Structure 1
C-alpha cells in the first residue's frame, strides 16, 4: 500500500519539476542523460513549497519526526529521491535516506549509499556516490558528494570521465572537484590523468569544461614530423574573453624552422556581424638561406547592419610568395595563391540595390599585378510586370582602376545597361526574349604602351544585344530492366545577337575568358568583366533527358549541346591576336547517373568534332554503400594550360583514387592517391587511420605531395626548395578534457592538394 504525504517545507525549492527518476544508466553505450524540462514560472511557484512523500509504510510523530519505509519517494520541484528507508526530523529540519538511493534534479543524477539533507539551506551530502551530469557524457564516483544551496557539486576522493561505465580508456582522479552548475565548468585539485589505468599526467590545479560552453584553457596539442619542417608540436591555448570575444594562441614549434606563433581573435559586432583577426609570425626561418622573418596578418568582417545594409571587409598580407606552401596557416591553404583585400557596403530594397566597394588582389608567384578597384559603385534595378509580364531592368556601374605601378595604364569606366525581358512560361515549356543596350564609357590615363602603340584616352562604346531562349518539356512513362521510370526530354535553343565594335583602344582591367561547359553554351558573353564584349550571331542547341523513379527521385541526367556560329566573332581577348573561328563550337556533354543503388557516375566532356580533339574531360566513379563508406575513381584532362612561370603550354592528365572505409565500428581508413600520367609520377599520396570512441579519438596519417615553389620578387627568401614533401601527423583528443570533439572523417577527405569534390549526386 502506498502512503502519500503533502508537506509544506522548503526543501530544494529553486529548481524545476522532474517527470521521472532516471535509473542508473546501462554500461554498454555512450552515456548522455537528457536534461529535465523546466516548467513555466507560474507552475513552479505554485508547487515550490510543496513536498510529496510516498512509501509503503510510515511511522510519524506530529511536528517531531517521521520514518518512511518501502519504496520511499520524495519529490519537490525538480528534485526527487528514491530510497528504501528515510527519516524526517522536523525539529532539526533534516532528511536522511539510505538503501538503493537515487537522487535526481534537473542537472544531475546521483546514486549513493546514504543521503543527509539540510532543509533550511537546501543542501545535501551523499556518501559512496556515483553521479551523472544531464545532457553530458560526464560521470564519475565520489567518496563524498555535496550539493550546495546554489546547486553546485563539491566532490572529494573522486574521479570523472566521459567514457561509458566500465570503460577505463581514460579517467581523471582528483582529491577534490567542484562543478559549477551554472557556468558548466569544473575546478580540479591534485589531479592525475590515467589512460588505461596508467598514470600519465599530474597537475595540482586545473579547470575543465563539463559542457559545450566556451572555457579558457589549453586545447590538446598536435604532433607531426615532415621532411621540410622537422618535428612539429602545436599547443593551442584558448581564452574566453567575453561572450562576444575570444582568442586562440598557438605556439607551433618546428625543429627545422623555429617557433611559429599563431593568434586568432574572433568577435561579434552586433546581432548579425562577425569578424576575426589573425596574426602569424616565424622569426628567422632556419630553412631559408637568409634566416628571413615570415609573417601573416589577416582581418575580415561581414554581416548585416540592419535589414537594408550589408558590410563585407577583408584584408590579408604575407611576407613572401611561398608562405602558405611552407607553413600550416589558419587563413589559407597551400593551393591558394590569391590574397583578396576588399571593403564593400551594400544597401538593398525590394526592387533595387546599390553597393560601393574597393578591392585589391595580390597574386602570389606572379610578377604581373592585377588592377585595383578604387572604388566601384554598382546600381541594379528591376521592375517586374511593367506591361503585363514585360520586365524592365537596369544595371549601372562606375569603376576607377588604379595600379601600384605608376607607369601602367589606368582608367575610369562608366557602364549603363538597360534591358527589356519578356518571359513566357508554362508546364509545357518557356520562351524568354531579351533586348539590352550596353553603353560603356572609358577615360584612360597613361595610354602609351610598351610596344610603342597607345590606347584611346576617351572611348564611348554602344553595343546592342538580343537574345531569345526557348525550352520544351516532354515526358513519358517507360521501363528499364524491369523498373518503371518517368523520362523527360527537354530540348532548348538560344539565338544570340551581339553587335560589333572595335575595342582595340580599350585596355584590359578586370576581364578574362570564361571556361566553356554545357551551361556556358547558353551564356550571353565569352568574357567576364566589361573590357571586352564579343560580337555574336549564333544559335545554341541543347538537349537534356532525365529519368525519375516511382518516388519521383532523379536517377539519371544527360545533357548535350553545341553552338552554331552564323558569322565569326571579330573580338579577341588581346587585340591583334589572330584566333581561329570555326563554324561551330566544341560539343559539350555532361552526365550524372545512379548506375546501381551504390554506384554513381559523373562526367563532363568538351569534344571538337571538326578536329577530333578532346578539349576537356573529367570523370568520377563513386561507390557509396553506406555512411562513411566511399570509394572514388577520378580522371581529368585539360589541354593547353598556360604555365605562369615560363608561359609554356602544358597538358594536364591526372588519375586519382580516394577512399574512406570503416574497418571496425570505431576504426576508419582514409586514403588518397593521384598520379600524373604525363610526368609518370605520383603527385599526392595520403594515408590515414582514425580511431574514435565515445570518449577519445586518435588519428595517425602520412602525407606525400608535390610542393608548389614560387619565385619571389616581393621578398626574395628563396632556398634550395624540395620538389616533394612527406610527413607523419598525429592528432589526439580526450573528449571532455578540452578536446574539440570528434575529429571527423570528412575533414580527412579534404586534406591535401586535391579536395574531395562530391559529384552532383542525384537525390536518394
Structure 2
C-alpha cells in the first residue's frame, strides 16, 4: 500500500489490514502496484466512430457504413476516465491494491476515515471521492462527495456510494453512468452494482446520445444491465424522441453491445398502390450461436394478414438461409389481364445453401418460388422488385482443381410477370452437367475443353437433350511489347429430340399446313474454329493537365475463321444473339448458348491507348475497333416457326468506341459509342459521369441510347448540406415514352445517435395491359435509426443503395 501526504509510512499491522479491507469494492491483498499503461480509449470515448473510406467510383455495390459516433460531443463523464487502467476484470483477485489519501483518521478503532482526494485502485477498478469511511467490524463502507468509480466496462459518478465488502456490492445515489463498450449512458435516482458484470438502476434513463443531450432515450422505473450477456432489461419503460414519448412497453429487453439477442425489432411500415398500407413488427429469435430466426407478422390494409419468416444457419461445412412469406385468402382486387388472386393463398419461398461435401466438391442451392405471377408486383415496393420477370432456381454439385472444373445439377425458372404467358420463360435445364479443362502442356501451349450435357424441358414446345463438346489447343507467345495467341478448336453439338419432334416449330406446336423445321430426331453439327490474336504495346512518357503519365499505344488484330454449317434443323433451347459491344470484336461467337455457331471469315482491327500513373493505375483508356467480314453472315436466328432470317452481306461491322477517364478519386467518366457504316446511323450511345461531392456526397449522370429500343436520361445525387444533413434524389426520363420512368426524392439526417431518412418514390412499369401500362406507383418510406439500439422501419437504405450509384 502507498499512502501519500500526511499518512504515516507504516501503520500497525491491524490497521494496515483494516485500510486494505477498506477497499469495499475490491477487497484483495495490499501492496504496491505498477500501473499498466493502456492509452487507447474505449468505445465510449470522445470519438467512438471512425469514418469509412468512400466507396470507389464505379462500384455497383457499396458496403453499408457502420454506426458512427464521430458527431458526438466529448463525453463529460470521461473527464475522470483513466486510460492507463487495465481492462481485464479477471485480474482483480491476483492484483494488489493501491490507496492514496491526504488524511487517515483512525481514532475510532472500528471505523477508518480516509479524506482528501481519496484514490483506491485495484486492477481495472478505481474509486475516488472526497471521503471514504470503512467499518472494520461489519465491512461496510461509505463514500461521499464527488464519488467517481471506474471499471473495465463502466464509469459511474454519484453524490454518495455505500456498500459491503463481503457482499461485494455497492449502492449509489443520484447516479450518472456510462457503459464504456457501447456508449450507453444515463441517470438514475439510485444505482446498484451487484457484481463485476451486473448493475441495477431505479428511475433511470438510457441512451447512446451525448451525456446531457439525449435526442432519444428510454426512461424506465427499473433497468437491469448484464454486461456478461450483453442484455439490458427495462421495466415500465417509455421510449422518447426529442423528449416526446411515442412508445410504452411494460417490459422489454435490448442489446447493450453488438451481440445478438432475442426480442422485438422495430416496427416497419410502408404504402403502395397495389396492397395499401403495410405494418409489421418483427421478432428476432437468437436460438443458438450458429442459427437464428426472425418472425414478421405483416398487415396489408387491402389484402390481409401475412406471416413472414427467416431462418439462418451455420454449421461445420454448411451455411444457408430460408425465407418464407404466406398470406392466406387474399382480399385484394384482381388485376385486368392478369391471373386472379382474390381469395387465393399467396406465398413466397427463397432458400439458399452452400455445403462442403469433401475434397474439392461442394453443393450449392438457390431456390426461389412464388404462388403466382403477380406476387412481386403486388408486394414489392420499388421498381427493382416489381420489374423482375423471371425467378431462377438451381441446385448444383460443383468441384474444381488446378486444371479442371465440373458441375452437375439443374436449373428451373418461373414466370413472375403477370402480363406475359409462361411460354416466354426459358427452358428448364433438367439436369445439366458441365466439365471444363485447362491443361498446360508446355510453357506456351495448353489444351482445354468446354463440355456440356443438358436435358431441356418445357411444356407445349419441343424438348430434347443436347451434348456440346468444345476442345481446343491454344498457344501464347509473348514478349514485353508484343503477343501472338493462335487457337485451334473443334465444336461438336448433337441433339436427341423428343419422339413428337415433327409436331413442333421453333416457337411451339405446328398448325395447319406448317412444316416442321426439324428434319430428324438426332441432328448434329460439327466444325473447326480457328483464331489468331496479335498485338503490340508501345510506351512513352506523356503529360496530361500538368501531370506526367506513361502512355501506351496498343494496336491489335484478331482473325477468326469458322466454316458455314447449315443449322436450320437445330432447335433453339437457350440461344440468343448477344448485344454487340467492344468485346464482341474478339468473340468466337455472336450467339449465347450452343444451338448456333456463327460462320466467320473475319478480321478485327482495334486500337487502344492508356494513360498510367506512377503507381501503374489506369487513369484514361480509349479504344476503337471494327470487324471486316470477308464472307456473308449466313447463320441467323429464325424469324418464326419455320423460316430463318436472311443472311447479312455486310462487309464491315459497327465502329465501336469506348472511353474511360478517372484522373483522380473525385470524378469518373465512361462512354461507349457505336456507329453503323451500313445504315449510317448511330446504333448505341452511352455516357456515364460520376462526381464525388465532399466526403459524403456524389452526383451521377448517365445517358443511354439504343436505336429503335431505348433512350433514357438518368440523374441521381447525394448532396450534403452540412455535416448532418444530406439531400437525396434520382430522376429517370424516357425520351421514347416521353415520361418520367422513376423519380425519387429524400432527406437524410445524421447526428451523434440518430439517423433519419425520408424517401418518396414514383415509378411506372412499361409492360402490362393498356389499362395498367404507365399507371404510376407511389411509395413513401421512413426510417429512423437509434444508434446502438436499432432501426425503426429499415427499408429506405436498401432502396437508396439500388437506386443511387455510390450510395453509402
In structure 2, what is the Cα distance between the partners aligned to 1:741 and 1:152? 31
Would you say 1:441 and 2:487 are equivalent positions? no
Would you say 1:453 and 2:516 are equivalent positions? yes
Would you say 1:358 and 2:394 are equivalent positions? no
Would you say 1:339 and 2:391 are equivalent positions? yes
In structure 2, what is the Cα distance between the partners aligned to 1:26 and 1:523? 58
Q: Corresponding residue for 2:431? A: 375
Q: Corresponding residue for 2:295? A: 249
Q: Verify the 8 A CA contact 2:652 2:677 in the aligned structure 1.
A: no
Shift of 1:193: 2.3
Would you say 1:401 and 2:453 are equivalent positions? no
Q: Corresponding residue for 2:581? A: 517
Provide closer, same or farther for how the CA distance between residues 721 and 465 of structure 1 changes in structure 2, counting only shifts above 3 A. Answer: closer
Q: Verify the 8 A CA contact 1:12 1:123 in the aligned structure 2.
A: no
Q: What are the residue-to-residue correspondences of 1:255-266 with 2, within 5 Å? A: 255-266=301-312
2:447 to 363, 377, 392: 392
Q: Verify the 8 A CA contact 1:52 1:76 in the aligned structure 2.
A: yes
SS in 2 for 1:520: helix
Q: Corresponding residue for 1:680? A: 738
Provide closer, same or farther for how the CA distance between residues 572 and 54 of structure 1 changes in structure 2, counting only shifts above 3 A. Answer: same
Shift of 1:637: 0.9
In structure 1, what is the Cα distance between the partners aligned to 2:597 and 2:84? 64
Q: Verify the 8 A CA contact 1:252 1:260 in the aligned structure 2.
A: yes
Q: CA RMSD in A?
A: 3.5
In structure 2, what is the Cα distance between the partners aligned to 1:655 and 1:698? 29
Q: Corresponding residue for 1:534? A: 598
Q: Corresponding residue for 2:32? A: none
Shift of 1:621: 2.4
Q: Corresponding residue for 1:655? A: 713
Deviations 1:676-720 (A, max 9, x none): 212222121111112222222222222211135547xxxxxx996
Deviations 1:579-626 (A, max 9, x none): 423111111111112378744321111111232211111112233232
Shift of 1:44: 5.7
Q: Verify the 8 A CA contact 2:310 2:321 in the aligned structure 1.
A: no
Provide closer, same or farther for how the CA distance between residues 227 and 347 of structure 1 changes in structure 2, counting only shifts above 3 A. Answer: closer
Indicate the larger mover: 546-555 or 57-66.
57-66
In structure 1, what is the Cα distance between the partners aligned to 2:105 and 2:618? 73
Q: Corresponding residue for 2:688? A: 620
Q: Corresponding residue for 2:703? A: 635
In structure 1, what is the Cα distance between the partners aligned to 2:217 and 2:746? 27
Q: Verify the 8 A CA contact 1:490 1:545 in the aligned structure 2.
A: yes
Q: Corresponding residue for 2:476? A: 423
Q: Corresponding residue for 2:286? A: 240
Shift of 1:335: 1.9
Deviations 1:346-375 (A, max 9, x none): 122222232111111123333213222121
Provide closer, same or farther for how the CA distance between residues 376 and 597 of structure 1 changes in structure 2, counting only shifts above 3 A. Answer: closer
SS in 1 for 2:584: helix
SS in 1 for 2:578: coil
Q: Verify the 8 A CA contact 1:13 1:77 in the aligned structure 2.
A: no
Provide closer, same or farther for how the CA distance between residues 697 and 287 of structure 1 changes in structure 2, counting only shifts above 3 A. Answer: farther
Q: Verify the 8 A CA contact 2:632 2:647 in the aligned structure 1.
A: no
2:674 to 597, 601, 606: 606
Q: What are the residue-to-residue correspondences of 1:27-38 with 2, within 5 Å? A: 29=72
Instruction: Note the residue ranges of structure 2 that are not aligned, 5 or more in a row.
Output: 10-15, 29-34, 48-70, 505-509
Shift of 1:187: 0.9
Provide closer, same or farther for how the CA distance between residues 302 and 288 of structure 1 changes in structure 2, counting only shifts above 3 A. Answer: same
Instruction: Note the residue ranges of structure 1 that are not aligned, 5 or more in a row.
Output: 641-650, 712-717, 760-764
In structure 2, what is the Cα distance between the partners aligned to 1:680 and 1:432? 49
Deviations 1:197-234 (A, max 9, x none): 33333222111221222222222223444444433333
Matched pairs, number: 734
Deviations 1:152-203 (A, max 9, x none): 1111121111211222322211111011111111111111223223333322
Deviations 1:114-135 (A, max 9, x none): 3334333432222222111122
2:637 to 563, 573, 588: 573
Q: Verify the 8 A CA contact 2:619 2:664 in the aligned structure 1.
A: no
Q: Verify the 8 A CA contact 1:260 1:283 in the aligned structure 2.
A: no
Provide closer, same or farther for how the CA distance between residues 36 and 460 of structure 1 changes in structure 2, counting only shifts above 3 A. Answer: farther
SS in 2 for 1:325: helix
